[in-house]
Amino acid sequence: MNSNIFVVIMAGGVGSRFWPYSRNAKPKQFIDVLGNGKSLLQMTYQRFLPTTNKDNILVVTNDIYVDLVKEQLPDLNEEHILGEPARRNTAPCIAYAAYKIKKKNPNAIMVVTPADHAIFQEENFTNVIKTAIHAADGSCKLLTVGITPNRPETGYGYIQYLENDSEVKKVKTFTEKPELSLAKKFLESGDFVWNAGIFVWSISAIIESFEKSLPDIAEAFEAGDSQ
């Protein structure tokens, strides 16, 4: 197993769209939604064990959920539970984990995933992640996983891609939560997929991207690492 592969699970959301089942005190990622004896967080953690070892898995969450993460993932290294004092958007969450990983292994490949996905074709999913890891290794590519849509869903983001003969395709456009008429056109075109919110890249590539596109975030975390 490749020791350079790190998985970051984002588990800080409150699951507001799943209310009232999901509450602030115990959001959906900590709930046994499917009735199989495992929370979505636990399922996500176990889903990535074929990809990397447990010592290379980190969970970024809100400070108030740190104890819940410890309770549900007792095998996880406590140092790999990164509690944030306030809820932030995705970029600072990813940067927080990226700079931590950089200190441990500057040659790392980073996989970022939400904690609340339900995935049933796990072998196929693992193969997709391995393909993305291979594409990211030693390159400056930033990869995102797409899902073939089966309906004109307005609650998801859409990725338009440029067709080629490879499983890894170049992104042409992103569209976040389109209106229904536009979502229908996306489906009809055949060159759009749903954005799964799962990302794969090398640590060097994502750090370089932060420095170029979000220098304030890069400077803040670089300053924190130097202390």
For 54, the token pair is: 């447990």
Classify strands 192-202 and 142-147 as parallel, antiparallel or unpaired.
antiparallel
Rounded-to-integer distance, Cα 214 and Cα 209, Å: 7
pLDDT number for residue 14: 60
| CATH, range 5-226 | 3.90.550.10
Q: What is the pLDDT of residue 26?
A: 78
Looking at residue 137, what is its pLDDT? 94
pLDDT at 226: 40
Q: Which of 160, 151, 164 is nearest to 195 (CA)?
A: 160
Cβ atoms of residues 8 and 94 within 8 Å: yes
Kindly write down the DSSP assignment for every residue of 58-93, as one continuous string. Answer: EEEEEGGGHHHHHHH-TTS-GGGEEEESS---HHHH
Mean pLDDT per segment of 10 residues, for the chain of length 227 residues?
90 59 70 91 95 95 92 94 78 92 95 93 94 94 95 95 92 95 95 95 96 91 64
pLDDT at 225: 58
Q: Which two tokens stand for residue 92?
A: 């600072």
β-pairing, 157-162 with 170-176?
antiparallel
What single-letter DSSP state applies at residue 50? T
Parse the chain into domains and list their residue ranges: 5-226
* pLDDT at residue 224, rounded to an integer: 64
pLDDT at 220: 87
What's the whole-model pTM score? Answer: 0.89
* Predicted pLDDT at 90: 84
